[in-house]
Structure formats: structure tokens, C-alpha cells
Chains A and B, each alone.
Chain A
Amino acid sequence: MWAYVIRRLGESLLILLGISLVTFALLYLVPADPARQIAGRSATAETVANIRAQLGLDQPFHIQYLRYLGNLLQGDLGRSYLQRTEVSELIAARMPATLLLMLATIVVELIIGLTIGAIAALKRNSAVDQSLMVFSFVTISAPQFVVGILLLYVFAVQLGWFPIGGYGTFAHLVLPAITIGLLGTGWYSRMMRSSMIDVLAQDYVRTARAKGLGRLRIILRHVAPNAILPIIAMIGIDIGLFMSGIVVVESVFGWPGIGQLAWQAIQRVDIPIIMGVTLVSACFIVLGNLLADLIAPLVDPRIKLK
């Protein structure tokens, strides 16, 4: 088990290295000039050139990247160009808000998604099944900023049930968590449905019926535990979906997390922040997948970590 964890963490470092290289290269190729952003529109070409030299942006790509990597290995994510603060401090300050949103989102997704999927599977091919699958299809296809704005308009502006934006109370959490969660809900319900249908046809479910067990007991004890097995791996992938969702949704709801930080930094080409948030997100995705793989053998005794 420990050998497995260490090997996986080693692999994760390689993945992170690759991600840092790709992101750094993309930002290098972006036509916008960070020095011009810092200096302002009215600054002279000379000032801009000075700033560029000061930040080392005039160096060739490989020098810039190796310097960034060198600092990174010492735990230094660099300083924001515009906010004049350590990137690590900026991210740390905004992490709690994002983690809270992540937790709430996963709870929403699992509760709604698994329930919908299970009901659809049990009522397979009925009108209920079809409407639930149409619903899940809509949640998968709808762009998150549209969903966010719609929810804001109906539940915050018109009905006034929830605050329009911000952070602090449980009421603030509900709409952003549902907005991001709906996408995952769609995926989970579709996976749960097909997984349940699969399990319902298994021989051991027939055995359970032959034992004279009741329907509810068969579903809870024999069908559900087997049906969620493929979904556990999905939770790791889902963190990736979440990370891509927060950039837009945190901005729509004024949620002070790292997604909003990234949004602001992207607009101003604040490269150290963009790099920092990307790497932190990548860490989450990598760790989320590792966690999912570590949980799997606890739920399914047939899986052995090697």
C-alpha cells in the first residue's frame, strides 16, 4: 500500500512538471504583454522595456522557465506583478472559500446525481426515467455562466431567497454550489443509471431475490454498493470538472476563491498568479484521483493496490 502511494506520488510529480511546462509555454506565447499591463497605457516604450528587463521577461523561454522551476522547487511561487504580494499568500488566503465550495458541490452532486440515477434505473424506460434523463442532459449541456445567471435572477433577484453574491453564510453557498454541481449531477446520474441497470441484471441480484429478500433490502444491500463502484473513480475526475467550473462561477457569484483570483489575473496577464492557481488546481486533481484509487479497494475487496 505504501509502496503504491509513493509510486503514485512520484508519477504525480512528473505530471505536475509537464503541466507547469505546458502552461508556462502557453503564457509565453500569449500576444498580450504583461510589462505593458503593469506600466499602463501612457507609459513610454523605455519604461515598459525597463519593467520587462526587471521581471526577466526579456530572457529566452528556457531561461525563464528554468528560473521559475528553480524557485518552485524551493516552494516559491513568485510574486504577483500587479498586487505586489507573494502568490502563495494570495492563494492561501482564498483557499478556504474554494475548499468549502468544493465540498458543498460534491455533496450536491452525489446526493442529487446518485438519487436521480437510481430512480431512473429502477423506473427504466418509463416517463419518469425519460424526464430525468432529459433533465440530466440539460444540466450537462447548459453553460455554467448561463445557469448561474438564471439561478441568480430567479432565486436571488425575483424570489429573494438567497443573497445575490458574496461569501460568509450558508445562504451564500447554496446557489454557487448548485450551479457548479448541476454539471456533475448530470454526469453522475447518467453513470449511476447505467451502472444500476448493469448490476440489476447480475446473477447475484437474482440470488438475493431467491433468498426471499425484500426489494428495498436488495437495492440497498446488493445493488447500490456494487453500482457505485465505477462512480468512485469518477469522483477523482470530477475535481477537474470543478476546478474548471470555479473560474467562471466564482466570478458570477463574487465568491472570493482561487477561481476569482485566476479570473482577475487572466485579464491582467498576471503570469505568476495564473501559474500558481493552475499548479494548485493540478495538485487537487492529481490528489483527488489518488484518493479515489485509494478508496476503491476499501469498497471493492477485489481491487488490490499494486
Chain B
Amino acid sequence: MTADRDNAGREETSRPVLSVQGLTIQVATPEGPKPVVQDLSFDLRRGETLCLAGESGSGKSMTALAIMGLLPQPMARIAKGSIRLEDGTDLATCSERDFRDIRANRISMIFQEPMTSLNPVMTVGRQLTEVLLEHRACTRAEAPGRALELLRDVRITDAERRLKQYPHELSGGMRQRVMIAIALACNPEILIADEPTTALDVTVQAEVLELIRALQREHGTTVLMITHDMGVVAEMADRVIVLRHGRQEETAPVRALFAAPKTAYAQELLDAVPRLGNAPARPAPDRIRDVVDVAELCVRFPMRGGILNRVTAQVHAVEGVSFRISPGETLALVGESGCGKSTIGRALLGLVPWQGSIRIDGRQMAGLSAKGLKPIRRDIQMVFQDPGASLDARMTVGRQVAEPLVIHGLASGSELNDRVEMLFRRVGLTPEQMDRYPHEFSGGQRQRICIARALALGPKVIVADESVSALDVSVQAQVLDLLRELQEEQGLAYLFISHDMAVIDQVADRVAVMNLGQIVETGSRDQVLRDPAHAYTRRLLSAVPIPDPEHMRPPVLPREGEVGSPVWPLGQGPERLPMVEIAPGHWVAQGASLKVA
């Protein structure tokens, strides 16, 4: 790859495989057509990886869809410009009939959501052979064999069995591999990858990115990659186009961009990227008392079966987890999807049934009735991942922020209004915005509203479950700043649940790493992130893309042993991993291999 990057400058004489000139895309709105991409021009050179980088609304996905002829009809259309292939075909004016021969044959595309991008009622094998047969890439008799080869090409284990499986039987990473296999089935010249790893865990992301690079080397495919993640850009790109509000801000070779961005926006974007290991040290919070004290927390979900529909097995989502948080302290829970981190947050809020002990500000929650829990609930509030989905679309945001105060009977009339106004000001919104509805706000503003709602009752603890994961980096940084200010002001304790190591590095005082419902390593931020002891933690950290093209990330560490399952027959359960203190406050689970000092 390093060689490719050095060559990137020299190959400009050869004809581009794709040339976009003056592309303008309009979207119909009630106020008339609105441009989402304006006057975009770039050349895609054979064999290179070009990244379209930008935040949401930058028009990067629209550009990709326009190249594939898949713009959402009839709302969006190409208003101006051309998209020419090497042979001069203009895709901007190409008929649907002609497009059918170009798609998959010459240009392929993979999408952000591998979960929903495959047909759920069709086997993987048929979805693969379908594209081969459509483009007559092989005969009907050869198709199954060719499909098997393709699956092996994308390094899917047990490929023969996968052919007969349905998408829901595969993991997210495997589904994205299947998508890549489908995309490359007819050996296209160009692969468009639209946020291909955004929905995947960081370790799986690293594997999929490696796969795309390897296939690109083997087949000489040209890749147009669309991403918001500057870490992915640094890792993948030869050249980068930074887009903002549909306009081309800066186009540069990746090293030049990261070393010395020419435009202020590119500089801002790079500055906003959270970097692992760059976070300033945080003052140690006073550990006089614990506002959250969780001991031996277990959450198990029953699985039923048999004639009488009795519980036959249980999902051990959380298994014997203990932790404490002091006022003003942030404990980060990190782990891959399905590890149980979100379930812990829900248990704290009483949203799932749990066993064990949860004390909030000294008060035991176990065994309390709904009525008994009500006063405790005031002290613990939650901010969710998707601010759009966690606000009621048909209620003004002011009323939603006021609702907790009304439910708990804490304020009414003009006092209620004053308090909501104050909350709006506190999270950086204006009181005039109280009468609006959620759809009138941006993602970052909506998350501020959710934070205001969580603050309404003056809680002592806030559970932030992936609260900034859906936000653009610049917005993310602002929301994190807000959370930090609130913490300093009010001495809030945060349980910060995230899969993003770089964000955790910014906010956490202490970190707990979870795998299969248990904490495998916990300690101060520096202990866990700078000096990880457990193999699982080290693997997670090794997969984090580093937003620096000069820095070659070594291949992600291999997974140790089989991926376990949290499902156990009734009466059985996972072995509790004993924890050992290897340094003051740094606890590591035994059983799995420990770092050799």
C-alpha cells in the first residue's frame, strides 16, 4: 500500500476509469429543489483508493448513488454535470436498461448496513449465483462452484455450509463479506464502498478493511470509499476529497491532507477526531463515597420451548458484574456488540429484570416496588444513542423536557416553564426553541434536548449509552464538552457505554472492558488503555484505526479460541472468571492468557 501511495502522484497521465465533472444533484423539497451536491469534479485513477470524506449532509452518499444510478426516485436527480466511464459512457444520462449492464459488471457497490442489505428470505448461495447468472459470468452448472470460490475469496470460514444459510444466520462481519463477494462476483473495475464498516465492531471493521485492501491488490480494483471516519480514511485512502454541504472543500493525497490541510474546514475536521492516547490527564475524583455501587449484577433472559413452553435455556447477558462510581467520576464500559454493556445500563434504570445488588447513593434498589423505586429513579437518568428515536415526534421538545418534572410532581405552571427554560439554556439551546418539534432540530441539537430531559430531575448519575456514536465528529466533540462541563458543575457520575475506544479515552476516569457478560479487565483509563493486560482488551485496542496515514497499524490480533455463546441450558452458566489485582486498582480476569510482563 505504501508503494501505491507513492505512485499515486505519477499515474496522472493515464486515463481515469471514472471521471466526474461538474456534478450537481438536486433534491426536491417543499420549498423547491435544493442542491445536495454542487459542482463536484474528480477523476478516479486505475487501482487507487479515493475517499470521499465528510460529515452527514455533505453529499458523499448521494454522489455514490448517482454513480450507480440509484438516486432515490423521484426526489433526487442529477441537475448538471457528467459521470464518464473510461470508454466515454456518460452515467448521468444513461438509461436504466444500459445501467443494468454496468452495475455489478463494471461498477459495484457495498452499503453501510450489512444487516439489511441482503434479502432475508433467500439463501446466501442464491443471492450470489443470481448476480453471476444475470450477467452471464458463468453457466448455470458452473454457478454453485463459482459462488463457493467467491465466498472463499472473501475468507469466509465454512464456505460450503454458508451457501445454504440465510443472512440472519450470519454475523454482521460475515454478511458484509458476502456483500463484498456479490459485489466482486463479475470482476468490476470499480468498487464503491459506502461506509462499509460503520455498523461493525472495531475488530470486525479492521478485518473487513484488510479484506478490501487484499482483494484490491489481487484484482486491481479501483475503490471509491465513502466514510465519515478519518481513522478509516488514514488507513485506506490514497487520495481524499473532503466534502462539506455538497461542496468540494479540499482534494489532496492522504499524507498531504493529514500533514498540512489547506482549508480551515479540513483542519477543523481533523482536529475534532478523537485520537487514542492524546487525551489530557483528568484530575482524580475524590473517592469519599460511591454514588453507584453495583455488586454481583446478573441479567438473564429466558428462552422458552417444549409443549408447555417452559424456560429451557437462558441468555446470560450479564454475569456477576460489580463496579462502583464516585460523584464526578466517569466509568466507561467498553466491549463488542452483544457483550452485555448496554444491558447493564438498562438494569441500572430498572428497564430489564435483574438480580444482585444495585445501590444508588446508598439506597438499595433490589426488591423495591415500582412505588419504592420512584424516588431513586430521580437520581439516575439515561441518554440513548439515537436522539431521533428517543424523542416523541409528535410532542414539542419543551413538553418532553418538562415531562419528568410533571411525572414526579416537582414543578407546575410558570415554575415548570422557568425550569425548562433554564435547562434549554444550560445545554446550549434557546428557550424560543421549546415550542418546536424534534424534526426541526439537527442530530446534535436533539441529543442536547435528550441531555436536558435527563438533567430535568437533577440526577446524580447519568447512563450514557453510545450517546455520541451517531453524531458527526465535530458535533460529537461539542456534546462531549457539554457532558464534561455538566459533570464539573454538578458532580455527576457517568456510566459511559461505548464501543469507541478513542471517545472513551477522552471521557473516562476508569474503564471496564466486557466480554460475554463479564468484566475481563478494569482499572484507570491509563492502566487499561495504555497498558492492557487481558488478551481481549489488547485485541480491541489493536483494531482501532489510527487517524494518521504515516502510522501503519499492525494487523489486528487474532481472536483467541472460539467466540463464546451467552446461551446456557437451565441450571448451567458460564464459569465466573476470578479477578486478580496486578497493580493498584487494575484488575484482570484470570483464566484467559495474561500478558507476559
State whether these chains interact.
yes
Q: How far is the CA of A301 from the CA of B167 in the complex (A)?
A: 10
* A211 contacts B104, C-beta separation under 8 Å: yes
Q: How far is the CA of A301 from the CA of B99 in the complex (A)?
A: 32
* B134 contacts A212, C-beta separation under 8 Å: yes
* B70 contacts A211, C-beta separation under 8 Å: no
Contact partners of B100 in chain A: CB under 8 A: 212-214
* B242 sits at the interface (CB 8 A): no
Known: A212-B100, A301-B168, A302-B168. A204 touches B108 (CB 8 A): no
* A207 sits at the interface (CB 8 A): yes
Contact partners of B166 in chain A: CB under 8 A: 301-302
At the interface with chain A, which of B36-44, B113-121, B225-233, B547-555?
B113-121
Q: How far is the CA of A3 from the CA of B307 in the complex (A)?
A: 5
Taking the closest CB of chain A, its distance from the CB of B257, in whole angstroms, is: 29
Q: Which residue of A lies closest to B168 (CB)?
A: A302
Which of B101, B122, B131, B307 is A6 in contact with, Cβ under 8 Å? B307
Q: Mark A200-226, 1 if CB is under 8 A from B, else 0.
A: 001110111111111101000110011
Contact partners of A7 in chain B: CB under 8 A: 306-309
Contact partners of A229 in chain B: CB under 8 A: 121
Known: A300-B121, A301-B121. A221 touches B130 (CB 8 A): yes
* A221 contacts B131, C-beta separation under 8 Å: no
* A203 contacts B113, C-beta separation under 8 Å: yes
Q: Mark B144-185, 1 if CB is under 8 A from A, else 0.
A: 000000000000000000000010100000000001001100
* A150 sits at the interface (CB 8 A): no
Which of B131, B168, B305 is A211 in contact with, Cβ under 8 Å? B131
Taking the closest CB of chain A, its distance from the CB of B161, in whole angstroms, is: 15
Contact partners of A207 in chain B: CB under 8 A: 111, 117-119, 179, 182
* B108 contacts A210, C-beta separation under 8 Å: yes
Q: Mark B290-332, 1 if CB is under 8 A from A, else 0.
A: 0000000000000011111100000000000000000000000
Q: Mark A262-304, 1 if CB is under 8 A from B, else 0.
A: 0000000000000000000000000000000000000111100
Q: How far is the CA of A225 from the CA of B105 in the complex (A)?
A: 26
Known: A204-B117, A226-B119. A212 touches B130 (CB 8 A): no
Q: Which residue of B lies closest to A299 (CB)?
A: B121
Q: How far is the CA of A7 from the CA of B121 in the complex (A)?
A: 27
* B70 contacts A206, C-beta separation under 8 Å: yes
* A212 contacts B116, C-beta separation under 8 Å: no
Known: A7-B308, A209-B70. A221 touches B122 (CB 8 A): yes
Taking the closest CB of chain B, its distance from the CB of A157, in whole angstroms, is: 47
Contact partners of B306 in chain A: CB under 8 A: 3, 7
* A41 sits at the interface (CB 8 A): no
Contact partners of B135 in chain A: CB under 8 A: 212
* A306 sits at the interface (CB 8 A): yes
* B102 sits at the interface (CB 8 A): yes
Q: Which residue of B lies closest to A211 (CB)?
A: B131
Q: Mark A131-153, 1 if CB is under 8 A from B, else 0.
A: 00000000000000000000000
* B105 contacts A212, C-beta separation under 8 Å: yes
Q: Which residue of A lies closest to B116 (CB)?
A: A203
Known: A3-B305, A306-B305. A210 touches B122 (CB 8 A): no
Q: Which residue of A lies closest to B131 (CB)?
A: A211
Q: How far is the CA of A214 from the CA of B104 in the complex (A)?
A: 13
**Considering the complex, which residues of chain A in the window 172-210 have a beta carbon less than 8 Å from any beta carbon of chain B?**
202-204, 206-210
**Considering the complex, which residues of chain A in the window 222-260 have a beta carbon less than 8 Å from any beta carbon of chain B?**
222, 225-226, 229
Q: How far is the CA of A295 from the CA of B330 in the complex (A)?
A: 51
* A226 contacts B116, C-beta separation under 8 Å: no
Known: A204-B116, A210-B68, A211-B130. A225 touches B121 (CB 8 A): yes
Contact partners of B183 in chain A: CB under 8 A: 210
Known: A7-B308, A7-B309. A212 touches B103 (CB 8 A): yes
* B405 sits at the interface (CB 8 A): no
**Considering the complex, which residues of chain B in the window 262-299 have a beta carbon less than 8 Å from any beta carbon of chain A?**
none
Interface size, B (range): 35 or more
Q: How far is the CA of A147 from the CA of B102 in the complex (A)?
A: 52
Contact partners of A202 in chain B: CB under 8 A: 116
Q: How far is the CA of A302 from the CA of B167 in the complex (A)?
A: 9
Q: Which residue of B lies closest to A305 (CB)?
A: B305
Q: Mark B48-73, 1 if CB is under 8 A from A, else 0.
A: 00000000000000000000101000
Taking the closest CB of chain A, its distance from the CB of B379, in whole angstroms, is: 39
* B119 contacts A208, C-beta separation under 8 Å: yes
Q: How far is the CA of A203 from the CA of B176 in the complex (A)?
A: 13
Contact partners of B304 in chain A: CB under 8 A: 306
Which of B70, B122, B308 is A222 in contact with, Cβ under 8 Å? B122
* B109 sits at the interface (CB 8 A): yes
* A213 contacts B130, C-beta separation under 8 Å: yes
Q: Which residue of B lies closest to A202 (CB)?
A: B116
Contact partners of B118 in chain A: CB under 8 A: 204, 207
Q: How far is the CA of A215 from the CA of B100 in the complex (A)?
A: 10
Q: How far is the CA of A206 from the CA of B103 in the complex (A)?
A: 12
Known: A211-B131, A213-B130. A222 touches B120 (CB 8 A): no
Contact partners of A214 in chain B: CB under 8 A: 100, 134
Which of A3, A10, A203, A210 is B103 in contact with, Cβ under 8 Å? A210
Taking the closest CB of chain B, its distance from the CB of A214, in whole angstroms, is: 6
* B111 contacts A206, C-beta separation under 8 Å: yes
Which of B122, B131, B305, B307 is A212 in contact with, Cβ under 8 Å? B131
* B109 contacts A212, C-beta separation under 8 Å: no
Q: Which residue of B lies closest to A226 (CB)?
A: B121
Q: How far is the CA of A222 from the CA of B182 in the complex (A)?
A: 15
Taking the closest CB of chain B, its distance from the CB of A215, in whole angstroms, is: 8
Taking the closest CB of chain A, its distance from the CB of B401, in whole angstroms, is: 32
**Considering the complex, which residues of chain A in the window 37-63 have a beta carbon less than 8 Å from any beta carbon of chain B?**
none
* B120 contacts A204, C-beta separation under 8 Å: yes
Contact partners of B101 in chain A: CB under 8 A: 212
Q: How far is the CA of A213 from the CA of B168 in the complex (A)?
A: 23
Q: How far is the CA of A31 from the CA of B120 in the complex (A)?
A: 56
Taking the closest CB of chain A, its distance from the CB of B108, in whole angstroms, is: 7
Q: How far is the CA of A215 from the CA of B134 in the complex (A)?
A: 12
**Considering the complex, which residues of chain A in the window 1-42 have a beta carbon less than 8 Å from any beta carbon of chain B?**
3, 6-7, 10
Q: Which residue of B lies closest to A4 (CB)?
A: B307
Taking the closest CB of chain B, its distance from the CB of A220, in whole angstroms, is: 12
Taking the closest CB of chain A, its distance from the CB of B278, in whole angstroms, is: 36
Contact partners of B179 in chain A: CB under 8 A: 207
Q: How far is the CA of A208 from the CA of B127 in the complex (A)?
A: 9
Contact partners of B131 in chain A: CB under 8 A: 211-213
Q: How far is the CA of A301 from the CA of B304 in the complex (A)?
A: 19
* B120 contacts A212, C-beta separation under 8 Å: no
Contact partners of A217 in chain B: CB under 8 A: 134
Q: How far is the CA of A300 from the CA of B179 in the complex (A)?
A: 21
* B134 contacts A213, C-beta separation under 8 Å: yes
Contact partners of B122 in chain A: CB under 8 A: 221-222, 225
Contact partners of A209 in chain B: CB under 8 A: 70, 103
Taking the closest CB of chain B, its distance from the CB of A212, in whole angstroms, is: 4
Q: Which residue of A lies closest to B179 (CB)?
A: A207
Q: How far is the CA of A214 from the CA of B133 in the complex (A)?
A: 12
Q: How far is the CA of A7 from the CA of B305 in the complex (A)?
A: 10
> Please, could you name 30 A-B residue pairs with CB atoms under 8 Å apart, sorted by A?
A3-B307, A7-B307, A7-B308, A203-B113, A203-B116, A204-B117, A206-B70, A207-B111, A207-B117, A207-B179, A208-B119, A209-B70, A210-B68, A210-B104, A210-B108, A210-B183, A211-B103, A211-B130, A212-B100, A212-B134, A212-B135, A213-B100, A213-B130, A214-B100, A221-B122, A226-B121, A229-B121, A299-B121, A300-B120, A301-B166
Given A7-B308, A210-B70, A213-B100, 13 more contacts at CB 8 Å? A6-B307, A203-B113, A210-B68, A211-B131, A213-B130, A214-B100, A226-B120, A229-B121, A299-B121, A300-B120, A301-B120, A301-B166, A302-B120
Interface pairs A-B: 7 shortest CB-CB = A212-B103, A203-B116, A301-B166, A211-B131, A204-B119, A212-B104, A212-B100
